[in-house]
Amino acid sequence: MEDNRGLLAHWSFDEEEGKYATDAATGIEDKIEYVFNEVRYMDSQDPLRKKGVSGNALLFDGYSTWISRPVEKLTRSLDALTIEAWVAPRSFEKGIDSRLSPIVNQHNREMKEGYIFGIFRHGTWSLQLGLNGEWVEVWAEGHPIPLNQWSYLVATYDRRDCVIKLYLNGQEVTAKYIASDAPITPSGADFLIGKNNQGVVLGDTPYTLNMYSGLIDELKIFGRALSPEEVGQAFLDYVAPHGGTIPALPYDDIKLDRGVLKNDRHHPQYHLSPPQHWMNEPHAPIYFNGQYHLFYQHDPHGPYMHTIHWGHWVSDDLAHWRDLPFALAPEDNGLDPDGDWSGSAVYDENGIPALFFTAGNDSEVPNQRVGLARSTFPKDGDNDLVHWEKHPVPVIVQEKGQGMFGDFRDPFVWKEGNIWYLLIGSGTDGQGGTALAYTSGNMIDWDYKGPFYISDPEKYPYLGNMWELPVFLPLGKDNSGKEKHILLISPLGPEADVEVFYWIGTFDREAMRFIPDVNEPQLIDVGDFHFTGPSGMVDPKTGRKLIFTISQGVRTAQINYDAGYAHNAGIPVSIFLREDGRLGVRPIEELEQLRGEKMISIQNKAIDQANDLLINVKGDMLEIRLELESGTSDCWGIKFRRSPGGEEETLIYYNMMESALKVNRNKSSLDDLADWDRGIQGGRLDLNGENLKLHMYLDRSMVEVYANELKSLTTRVYPSRPDALGLQILGDVSVTVKSMEVWAMKPAF
């Protein structure tokens, strides 16, 4: 058994519940800081415990979980030190400012005081000390620790022997001898577990970087240096109950837990979202062996954008989904050490999925290149496509003269015959944004073909000077028999209107150019910055052209911090070429599988009669199909998320004078912090004499409305009142409800 002489602190984290962790060496109960200790729009929750190597372990969420002990309650002057802990990191940070994500620390690096023991980029780890006016760093070179697995880390320092040692799983991996004996220089900082004393603050936000993410168990601190024999024996004692080997860690015990947010009154439940934390756009949809796969930009460390991974969902039916482990994560491989940004999926020469992604490497110029990863399915039969192997080098590196140098991202790839085509977002010198075109016969060697299409920046300054996320899909033949395609982009730049713009036109394959029918770009959605980040696919099962988007949360950084998540996906949308040449847009029919109880069905009722019938129809997870005949009304539509007295409500309506579909969110929330971009938004919708036909999806804060299969309007509402659940038809007495059906909706996960 381990000799506990000199034991200064011992956190076993064996508590079953509660907001405190007991230090068995001193009896002190240390508070565990955790964002959900006290919350407003969901039930408060204790910090999460999971099964550890011995008893329980504490799960650190990567941004809000840490333990702090005031400096006056610590032994500050140390001639010797041992720190030991079992750790299972869930993700690694970039290590901004070369600072560690600490297991423990009480230090000031610039003042060369105290100590920090923690993890750095890609699983490297270190003990760093202030000694005799110097800052000494010792790294476990060549011994990175893995993600999602238990590792036993020990660090020792002894001034008598003038040596610092690091041990991994009971074995010494490095030793550093120093020139003179010295005690650890005392630091006046508080003692922290999981949070860096000097973590870098992310801009003007509440987020501190350099935080630990994952499990910690059996954390001990000694005021002496354990011997190699003691370290080895302690390791053997820990693993003895597990058959002498490090216990396996079930993925479910360390993954981000979707159940944490199930009671959040604003968190969507049947829209795609990460289990917790940050997402950007969903992308790279692909169908393979009976399953749909969709990936998304994800920061697993917290609800902010920094160290980007590829999150991954899978579905049998586009309605019910499962969370899978990260598909791509930054690695110390010279390809993508600083992030895996957006891209697309395609079938390789054998019909196996492959991913094209924006590989981030900040040590290179430009720092954005095109990476390729192939599914391991041919080797392991992994039908969930969990495992991917990256091509060791970029397949495209931007050259000067190819677009706006340094802005080169979001490859969109498709295959026709034996040729793969690739578009990538960029810009031009003074001519506005563009998508650059490439072709390849093998997915590895690519030929540059020039700008795919350039719009007029003087006529359309709102398209910015750079385009992101190009999507190019066939639409079929128009009435004259011409093949039509659609090009979608997301503008970026000083004057950019960040929406999803599109053109319908023709594809000149020989020249690799797109020729729009009309130069003026069009909008799919008129909700004003809530429907962005497009990706798309041709569904091989049905032939439909499907679009996926991000639905912006448009909340402050502080609200995202408190909520534990930021953004979600829109529902999958089918686009098509209408008989009149306009773009059609409608939600996919698979969502009907999420319907629960049918709450009401109305046919041919005057507005007052319909509203009487709606009095008891309430909900925040609803599907609504509504057809209204306007009569003599100038404005007609529906109120929803309405409190009984109308103190909170949101209006979707048609304004006949403006020929526009609009949303009024001025009364959406009484909480001044909940919805900072109120007002009236909307855009043109030409009904051409048709009744207004709305297909609506309400999912807590999410609102999506599809009008006459012509336009969508995506927006957000954050009511403060739990009774803001009602519905009411809007209009004067001449309005007739031709039909209305309402269903309760079930979660997608």
Q: What is the mean pLDDT of the chain?
A: 96
How big is the chain, counted in residues?
Answer: 749
For the segment 49-83, what is each residue's pLDDT rounded down to a tens digit?
999 999 999 999 999 999 999 988 877 779 999 99
Q: What are phi and psi of 160, to 5 degrees?
A: -65, -40
Residue 431: band (very low, low, confident or very high) from pLDDT cuts 50, 70, 90? confident
Distance CA 662, CA 716 (A): 13
Q: Which pair of tokens denotes residue 697?
A: 């999806």
Q: Residue 77: what pLDDT?
A: 75
Q: Do strands 565-566 and 277-288 pair parallel, antiparallel, or not at all (unpaired)?
A: parallel
Spacing of C-alpha 506 from chain mean position? 34
Q: Is the pLDDT of residue 6 over 80?
A: yes
Residue 180: band (very low, low, confident or very high) from pLDDT cuts 50, 70, 90? confident
Per CATH, 8-253 and 279-540+578-589 having the same topology is answered no
Q: Is the pLDDT of residue 31 over 70?
A: yes
Burial label, 508 (beta-carbon count in 10 A; 0-12, 13-18, 19+): exposed
Q: Residue 429: what pLDDT?
A: 84
For the segment 129-178, what is each residue's pLDDT rounded down to a tens digit?
999 999 999 999 999 999 999 999 999 999 999 999 999 999 999 999 99
Which CATH number is 594-745's, of 3.40.30.10, 2.170.150.70, 3.40.50.720, 2.60.120.560?
A: 2.60.120.560
Domain limits, the chain? 8-253, 279-540+578-589, 594-745
Q: Residue 606: what pLDDT?
A: 98
Q: Residue 650: what pLDDT?
A: 98
Distance CA 682, CA 664 (A): 9
Q: Are 669 and 717 in contact (CB under 8 A)?
A: yes
Share of the chain above pLDDT 90, in %: 96
Q: Is the pLDDT of residue 283 over 70?
A: yes
Q: What is the mean pLDDT of residues 291-308?
A: 98
Q: Is the pLDDT of residue 231 over 70?
A: yes
Global pTM value: 0.97
For the segment 602-643, what is each residue's pLDDT rounded down to a tens digit?
999 999 999 999 999 999 999 999 999 999 999 999 999 999
Helix or strand run (H / E) with residue 254: none
Which CATH number is 279-540+578-589's, of 1.10.490.10, 3.40.50.720, 3.40.50.300, 2.115.10.20?
A: 2.115.10.20
Strand ranges (E), 35-169: 49-51, 56-61, 66-69, 80-89, 101-108, 113-119, 125-131, 134-139, 151-158, 163-168
The per-residue DSSP string of 396-424 comes to B---TTSSSTT--EEEEEEEETTEEEEEE
Residue 676: band (very low, low, confident or very high) from pLDDT cuts 50, 70, 90? low
Residue 456: band (very low, low, confident or very high) from pLDDT cuts 50, 70, 90? very high
Radius of gyration of the chain (CA): 29
Cis peptide before 206 (omega within 30 of 0): no
Q: What is the mean pLDDT of residues 188-211?
A: 97
Q: Is the pLDDT of residue 217 over 70?
A: yes
**Range in 72-81, 302-311, 706-715 the model is least confident about:** 72-81
Share of the chain above pLDDT 70, in %: 99
Q: What are phi and psi of 420, to 5 degrees?
A: -100, 135
Residue 532: band (very low, low, confident or very high) from pLDDT cuts 50, 70, 90? very high
Q: What is the mean pLDDT of residues 267-275?
A: 98
Q: Is the pLDDT of residue 496 over 90?
A: yes
CATH of the domain spanning 8-253: 2.60.120.200
Cα–Cα nearest to 170, from 244, 83, 248, 236: 236
Distance CA 136, CA 185 (A): 11
Burial label, 53 (beta-carbon count in 10 A; 0-12, 13-18, 19+): buried
Other beta carbons within 10 Å of 445: 11
